[in-house]
């Protein structure tokens, strides 16, 4: 479930989806306890989906409005940049003293 999809839902739809996912989470816990769980990754996905829905519900109750992000295009990289090489500073070799 993507966050954009959640933001497009009405508050009632969000509450219904939270309830549905909590029931699924309950069933998944029982399946895990009895050894019948086939897809262990689903437990994590359901937990995260519930968190997304609860976050949006909380934001709406607080009156926050989150603007939609601009398109997911990455900024173009600048081309023809001159390569800058760092000068390696090597310490002068120390002369070993032979003194007894």
Task: Select from 2.60.40.1080, 3.40.50.410, 1.10.287.110, 1.10.287.310 the CATH code of 3-62.
Answer: 1.10.287.310
pLDDT value at residue 87 = 62
pLDDT value at residue 68 = 57
State the pTM of this model.
0.62
pLDDT value at residue 80 = 66
How do the domains of the chain map onto residue ranges? 3-62
Between 55 and 75, the higher pLDDT residue:
55
pLDDT confidence band for 66 (50 / 70 / 90): confident
Full DSSP string of the chain: --HHHHHHS-HHHHHHHHHHHHHHHHHHHHHHHHT----THHHHHHHHHHHHHHHHHHHHHHT--PPPPPP-PPPPPP-SPPP-PPPP--PPPPPPP---
């Amino acid at each position: 479930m993507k966050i954009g999809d959640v933001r497009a839902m009405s508050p009632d739809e969000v509450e219904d989806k939270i309830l549905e996912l909590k029931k699924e989470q309950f069933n998944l816990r029982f399946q895990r306890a009895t050894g019948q769980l086939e897809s262990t990754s689903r437990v994590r996905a359901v937990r995260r989906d519930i968190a997304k829905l609860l976050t949006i519900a909380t934001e709406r109750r607080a009156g926050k409005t989150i603007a939609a992000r601009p398109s997911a295009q990455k900024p173009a990289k600048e081309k023809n940049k001159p390569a800058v090489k760092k000068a390696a500073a090597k310490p002068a070799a120390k002369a070993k003293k032979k003194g007894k």
